[in-house]
Amino acid sequence: MAEVCAALVILGVTAYAVFGSADFGAGFWDLTAGGAERGGRLRGMIQRSMSPVWEANHVWLIFVLVMVWTAFPVAFGSLMSTLSIPLFLAALGVIFRGMAFALRGQAATINEARVLGATFAFSSVLIPFFFGAAIGGVASGRVPVGNAAGDLIDSWLNPTSIALGVVAILTGAHLAAVFLTGDARRAELPDMVDAFRKRAIGSGVVAGAAALISLLVVRADARELYDGLTSGDGLIAVVLSGAAGLVTIALVITGRYGPARFTAAAAVGAMTVGWALAQDPYILPGALTLDDAAASDTTLTALVVSVGLGMLVLVPSLWWLYRLVLRGTLDQEYEPLDQRFRPVDR
């Protein structure tokens, strides 16, 4: 049952790495869109695409937290205490980001809009960095067993964590650009299709290069993790991730944006699974194995049954939501944000 629960955790992490990262990546393009006039059309497209789904994407974060807390309580306490700083900052960013996104469309003045827009955009970059840094701390073996037993700073400010934080930002930006390109085509906005298509190709190349560089960083800083990623099942996952990334770029270049969504998601998913395979059988590398961290069989069985019942509601609901989005049923009217926030002359 411990392996089943671990598989469910990885499923949740993968889903959040795809949907949540694309959500954060849209904020990256919002941040880099340019001034109010030049970036208004890009920001309008981002607002239009995110509005129907941005809240639903975070359900996977809650799912992962509850699963780890219940199934692997010792590991949960250890990582939540040692990595309290990046996880607290990420949670704070999620709150402020959601608040800013919900309110900026109601801004009364351009100054209010700029403050809310900046909060949304900067949070969108910082959140994936902190999550990536936390994962790097776990994967590199810097989280020992015990309440805040690890270094509160070095556990997440180290070469592996920084490298994974940067990769998290870039992969999210790439996912978002791929998704936004398809949304722009559905909205029949050729200038937006061209703008996000260029961003999807460029960010894909940069994200791939960053992933390769991060492997070199991991080799020097966390050799056991590197060995796990370059041998056995971990290597297969890494190769599949790279291949899916190359296919995604090819699909975007040829204008096949629908299939590109799935291959881009597959690239991120394979990367996430590769991390789990690389540190198997440990949940906290070098400190705690999966079996030692697991709760009682009774607890695990009850958890799996509860999750199964919940999935009967969650999965069809999310499937229907995304289906409606891709069919354009929930599409809002497109409006550049610079026009919405421009004060009315009296």
> What pLDDT score was predicted for residue 177?
95
At 237-274, the pLDDT tens digits run: 999 999 999 999 999 999 999 899 999 999 999 999 99
Query: Residue 344 — very low, low, confident or very high, per pLDDT cuts 50/70/90?
Result: very low
> What Cα–Cα distance (Å) separates residue 99 from each residue in 121, 230, 333?
12, 41, 22
The fold adopted by the segment(s) 2-298+323-341 is Formate dehydrogenase/DMSO reductase fold (1.20.1630)
> How many angstroms separate the CA atoms of 264 and 258, rounded?
10
130 or 314, which is more confident: 130
103 or 28, which is more confident: 28
At 17-45, the pLDDT tens digits run: 998 898 899 989 988 887 767 788 888 88
Residue 3 contacts by C-beta under 8 Å, 6 or more apart in sequence?
290
> What pLDDT score was predicted for residue 346?
41
In the chain, where do the E strands start and end?
A: 282-284, 288-289
Contact between 145 and 284 under an 8 Å Cβ cutoff? The reply is: yes
Share of the chain above pLDDT 90, in %: 63
Overall average pLDDT of the 79-108 stretch: 88
Residue 210 contacts by C-beta under 8 Å, 6 or more apart in sequence?
163, 166, 167, 170
> What pLDDT score was predicted for residue 286?
85
> How many angstroms separate the CA atoms of 232 and 130, rounded?
29
Residue 136 contacts by C-beta under 8 Å, 6 or more apart in sequence?
156, 158, 160, 161, 162, 163, 164, 165
Q: Which position has the token pair 């592996």?
A: 160
Overall average pLDDT of the 199-226 stretch: 94
Phi and psi angles of residue 199, each rounded to the nearest 5 degrees, phi first = -70, -35
At 271-328, the pLDDT tens digits run: 999 988 998 888 999 889 988 999 999 999 999 999 999 999 888 988 888 888 777 7
Say yes or no to pLDDT of 340 above 70. Answer: no
**Of the candidates 295, 91, 300, the residue with the CA atom closest to the CA atom of residue 80:** 91
Share of the chain above pLDDT 70, in %: 96
Instruction: Decide: residue 333, CB within 10 A, 0-12 exposed, 13-18 middle, 19+ buried.
Output: exposed
Give residue limits of the domains in the chain: 2-298+323-341
Query: Residue 111 — very low, low, confident or very high, per pLDDT cuts 50/70/90?
Result: confident
pTM: 0.90
Overall average pLDDT of the 115-141 stretch: 92
